[in-house]
């Protein structure tokens, strides 16, 4: 008697499952074809963030931009240069950049080598991987577009940071 009840329950469950699956079936998805080539990711197309730094890259070299916000000493921007192995020191003592807020005029920034105690200890004399620029005009609530070029050997590598928000990418605030 217990066996017939068990089979009756199984048959009822399977019948109900069949009704539910019939009522809930969806049409098979249609195949989508396109003649366009897939999007190739190019690092210079957009920026990525790494912690409190906005990263620009050409695929070989990265440049990370961060803000040092200080109402007492004045605001600064910092650039850290690296390659796949870590900090990458350039032979240039300065980098010139242009910064522009959406509504504002372009501003020229002159980045100088950070003090030696703020750079990697293994950095050779006459080279620099960390640059700092005074930016007293910087407004915390305004996003910037910052552009520069890194002198690497015989060539220059353009770097662009889009939508750099000083408060969001501030490594220090006072």
Asked whether residue 19 is assigned to any structural domain, the reply reads no
Q: How many domains does the chain have?
A: 1
Alpha carbon 104 to its chain centroid, in Å, reads 24
Asked whether residue 17 is assigned to any structural domain, the reply reads no
Contact 70, 76 (CB under 8 A): yes
Residues in the chain predicted with pLDDT less than 70, given as ranges, are 1-50, 172-174
What's this model's pTM, rounded to 2 decimal places?
A: 0.71
Contact 77, 67 (CB under 8 A): yes
Asked whether residue 123 is assigned to any structural domain, the reply reads yes
Which residues, at least 6 apart from 162, have a Cβ–Cβ distance to it below 8 Å? 46, 47, 145
Provide the domain limits for residue 72. Answer: 44-173
Cα 156 to Cα 63: distance, rounded to the nearest angstrom: 13
Task: Dump pLDDT digits (tens) for 83-133.
Answer: 999 999 999 999 999 999 877 889 999 999 999 999 999 999 999 999 999
Asked whether residue 60 is assigned to any structural domain, the reply reads yes
Task: Supply the CATH number for residue 48's domain.
Answer: 2.60.40
Question: Over the range 57-78, which residues count as b (16 or more CB within 10 Å of their CB) and which as e?
Answer: beeebbbbbbbbbeeeeebbbb
Asked whether residue 39 is assigned to any structural domain, the reply reads no
**Average pLDDT of the chain, as a whole number:** 78
Contact 93, 110 (CB under 8 A): no
Strand pairing report for 53-57 and 62-69: antiparallel
Asked whether residue 18 is assigned to any structural domain, the reply reads no
Q: What is the pLDDT of residue 140?
A: 83
CA distances in angstroms from 108 to 1, 61, 83, 137, 146, listed in the order given: 92, 23, 26, 11, 10
DSSP 3-state assignment of 43? helix
Asked whether residue 35 is assigned to any structural domain, the reply reads no
Asked whether residue 158 is assigned to any structural domain, the reply reads yes
Q: Which two tokens stand for residue 31?
A: 């195949």
Q: What is the pLDDT of residue 128?
A: 97
Q: What is the pLDDT of residue 103?
A: 76
């Amino acid at each position: 008697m217990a066996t017939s009840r068990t089979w009756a329950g199984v048959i009822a469950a399977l019948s109900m499952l069949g009704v539910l699956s019939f009522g809930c079936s969806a049409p098979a998805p249609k195949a989508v074809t396109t003649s366009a080539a897939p999007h190739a990711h190019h690092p210079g197309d957009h920026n990525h963030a790494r912690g409190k730094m906005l990263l620009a890259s050409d695929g070989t070299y990265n440049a990370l931009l961060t803000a040092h916000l200080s109402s007492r000493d004045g605001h600064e921007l910092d650039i850290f240069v690296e390659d796949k192995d870590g900090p990458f020191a350039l032979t240039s003592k300065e980098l010139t950049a242009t910064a522009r807020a959406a509504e504002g005029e372009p501003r020229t920034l002159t980045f100088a080598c950070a003090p030696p105690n703020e750079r990697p200890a293994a950095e050779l004399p006459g080279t620099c991987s960390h640059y700092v620029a005074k930016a007293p005009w910087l407004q915390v609530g305004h996003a910037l577009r910052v552009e520069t070029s890194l002198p690497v050997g015989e060539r220059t590598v353009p770097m662009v940071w889009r939508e750099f928000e000083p408060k969001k990418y501030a490594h220090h605030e006072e």
